Amino acid sequence: MSSRSLRGRVAVAGIGETAYYKHGQSPDPEFKLALMAILRAAEDAGIDPREIDGFASYSNDRNEPSRLSAALGIHELRFANMQWGGGGGGGSGAVGNAAAAIATGMADCVVVFRALAQGQFARFGQGPQSPTIDGDKAFEAPYGMMSPGQRYAMKVMRFLEEHGIAPSAQRGIALASYHHAQANPRAVMHGRPLDAEKYDDSRWIVEPFRLFDCCMENDGAAALILVSAERARDLPHKPCYLLSAAAGSEHRCAAPSHNAPTYASSSFTTVAPHLYRMAGLSPGDVDVVQSYENFTGGVLVSLVEHGFFEPEAAAEFLTKENLVAPTGKLPLNTSGGNLAECYMHGLELQLEAIRQIRGASTSQVPDAEVSMVCSGPLVTPVSSMILGGEATL
Amino acid sequence: MSGYLPDGLPIPVAENDGLSAPYWQGLREEVIRVQKCGGCGVLQFGPEWICHRCHSFDLGWTEVAGKGRIYSWERSHHPVHPALRAHGPYIVVLVELEGTGGLRMIGNLLGDPAQDVKVGAAVEAVFEHHEAAEPKYSLLQWTYVETSP
């Protein structure tokens, strides 16, 4: 193993989350949600929360490590890390950053967390309310392109057009998420099933996305704690090792006003090869995938760019039957994900990927040993990670 | 209503460093300007303070033709701004400009919001002036090129 690799050096000690709420309905402020999730992750790990010596997050999380450290009375702060970039593109990147700190001796016990209270702060799905606008958004907002859905529908439409894919190919992704949410009591959409007819009858938000192609907006917090692989073997849970993490985007991905050279992309074309190389694995080795759904079309392109199928085979591959646990060819978003469990800005996907390795998912894939997360398609930077059980080392 | 979309959407203005001011002023004058590098000659849009190809800071502006092809599109139904609440669907297009090495700009496709949109179709520029706005501004809209029968 190259010394410049994270493979097998860091493991998950514990996971925790708050109750998940519809946006604006959390009874607790955002900072308190963050604290609750971190304490639950420490409890799950069997670790005194004062032993945490590092924090990593993404998407400009408002809950700063210094305040968290003071509030929790941690002994010593050694690592305070923010993965740049909006959206959920940093979810796996933050895990990679935290793991890198542990693998290089910069910290021993790092928590990766994300907290959102959209009632306390602004919602994502609304356009700017200011009378004037400048910068990149000035090239979009006056034409009615203001929300993330409107920004990314343009990319996904180009991908669908280039490869002759009908928008209905996105449907199976939504059906699988809702199917898994019915088994998951944490899920906001638990008890609210979705079938093909209801999907087809749902209104367009922005073509090619229907209502059920779009993520929810929620309040809550989630956290996971990482330690060295050696330490994890002495902790209560079956160890879940980080096999690889990669983040980034293509050449000039953020060229303003939709001028990225590789435009019809979920931004993973350069990231995915790094991911597989570090893990020493290929798509066929992956047992279960959590793929961030801002929009189902983004999941479709993510799965293509991670090598699970060719674009032209999208409709054939993305059937509900292929995507549901335990029997599907590639079980996807087995907690319900951003569509139907909770839009915890994707970090609920990391927690679910860990549960699959532990054998503790509500939609468990039998003997799952290789568990992948793809974070935040279509934005820049994006990131992905692969987790594995003991047998993968 | 002075344009394709209702009044009340955010008014585009240049940044406080003035980076895109020549572009917005160009639309007021019914010309489309993109950056041209004084070092290597490459055209660049959206604007930046450096040439992405040769790293020259010597960036000027040049006029390009108001002709292009639809590169991608979307039809937006759900209103995400109060000004759009009672409006209904509208079409946003991403247009690749002719003779620019593939530069793209966002605009609306004028006409029936329910019309078919075809990737690759030829479109031409229409300047949409908002004279009653404060500050006044102009947008770059697009319409299908009339094909002779």
Is the per-residue pLDDT at A240 higher than 80?
Answer: yes
- 3-class DSSP string for A246-300: EEECCCCCCCCCCCCCCCCCCCCCCHHHHHHHHHCCCHHHCCEEEECCCEHHHHH
Q: Whats the size of chain B, residue-wise? A: 149
Tokens of A334: 């087995």
Is the per-residue pLDDT at A324 higher than 60?
Answer: yes
Tokens of A33: 């949600």
pLDDT per position as a tens digit, B88-142: 999 999 999 999 999 999 999 999 999 999 999 999 999 999 999 999 999 999 9
Could you give the CA distance from residue A30 to residue A26 in angstroms, rounded to a whole number? 8
Is the per-residue pLDDT at A172 higher than 70?
Answer: yes
Q: Which chain B positions have a beta carbon within 8 Å of A149's beta carbon? A: 78, 80
Burial A343-365 (b: 16+ CB within 10 A, else e): bbbbbbbbbbbbbbbbeebbbbb
Mean pLDDT on A34-51: 98
* Residue of A123, A132, A139, A155 to mutate, testing the B interface (most B Cβ within 10 Å of its Cβ): A139
Residue A276 annotated as catalytic: no
Could you give the CA distance from residue A250 to residue A40 in angstroms, rounded to a whole number? 37
pLDDT per position as a tens digit, B3-52: 999 999 999 999 999 999 999 999 999 999 999 999 999 999 999 999 99
- pLDDT given at position A3: 74
CB contact under 8 A, B10 and A255: no
pLDDT per position as a tens digit, A29-41: 999 999 999 999 9
- CA quadruple A255, A92, A181, A44: dihedral sign: negative
Average pLDDT for chain A: 96
Q: How confident is the model at residue A289 (pLDDT cuts 50, 70, 90)?
A: very high
- pLDDT given at position A387: 98
* Residue of B50, B78, B85, B105 to mutate, testing the A interface (most A Cβ within 10 Å of its Cβ): B78
Q: Write the residue in B105, B119, B135 that is nearest to A257 by C-beta.
A: B105
Residue closest to A372 by CA, chosen among A382, A383, A386: A386
Percentage of the residues of chain A whose pLDDT score is greater than 90 = 95
Q: How confident is the model at residue A128 (pLDDT cuts 50, 70, 90)?
A: confident
Is the per-residue pLDDT at A274 higher than 60?
Answer: yes
Q: Do B113 and A178 form a contact (C-beta atoms < 8 A)?
A: no
In CATH terms, A10-121+214-392 corresponds, of 1.25.40.10, 3.40.190.10, 3.90.1310.10, 3.40.47.10, to 3.40.47.10
Q: Do A338 and A293 form a contact (C-beta atoms < 8 A)?
A: yes
- pLDDT given at position A1: 47
Mean pLDDT on A272-285: 98
Q: Do A336 and A356 form a contact (C-beta atoms < 8 A)?
A: no
- pLDDT given at position B149: 54
Whole-structure pTM value: 0.97
pLDDT per position as a tens digit, A331-367: 999 999 999 999 999 999 999 999 999 999 999 999 9
Residue A178 annotated as catalytic: no
pLDDT per position as a tens digit, A184-223: 999 999 999 999 999 999 999 999 999 999 999 999 999 9
Residues 6+ apart with CB under 8 A from A225: A12, A13, A14, A15, A41, A42, A44, A45, A47, A52, A109, A110, A111, A112
* Domains, chain B, ordered by start: 13-64 (no CATH), 65-149 (2.40.50)
CB pairs below 8 Å between A and B: how many?
139
Q: How confident is the model at residue A118 (pLDDT cuts 50, 70, 90)?
A: confident
CB contact under 8 A, B11 and A208: no
DSSP helix/strand/coil, A2: coil
Residues 6+ apart with CB under 8 A from A383: A83, A89, A90, A91, A92, A93, A94, A96, A245, A246, A247, A248, A271, A375, A376
- pLDDT given at position B148: 57
Q: Write the residue in B5, B20, B94 that is nearest to A144 by C-beta.
A: B5
Residue closest to A35 by CA, chosen among A85, A75, A74, A89: A74
For this complex, say whether ipTM is above 0.95: yes
Is the per-residue pLDDT at A123 higher than 80?
Answer: no
- Residue A215: CB atoms within 10 A of its CB come to 25
Mean pLDDT on A2-23: 94
- Residue A295: CB atoms within 10 A of its CB come to 29
